[in-house]
Amino acid sequence: MAARIYQRPKNAMSSGKARLDEWILEFEQSEARRADPLMGWTGSGDTQAQVSLTFADCATAQAYAQKHGIDARVIPTPPKKLKLQAYADNFR
């Protein structure tokens, strides 16, 4: 089983910072998705892709993956870029 560990990203639709310190372990898909012939919905028989585990920090997530024999790779958190701008700049 392959998985990825990453820090929860900030929601673009909200200015809140709740749950941003959580780390998530998600399993990668082991089989391709296919379209259902009747309804046209996409799906697969891979139930592991539906599992998402949350942890307090990256070390705990890595320890869990190692304990259960999961091949996990850590995706580093990208640096935050602030665009400082004055309100008056909108009218120049």
Residue 39: what are its φ and ψ, rounded to 5°? -95, -20
Query: What is the pLDDT at residue 90?
Result: 86
Q: What is the pLDDT of residues 22-69, one digit of tens each?
A: 999 999 988 888 898 888 888 888 888 889 999 999 999 999 999 999
Host H or E run for residue 58: helix 58-67
The answer to whether 72 and 4 are in contact (CB under 8 A) is yes
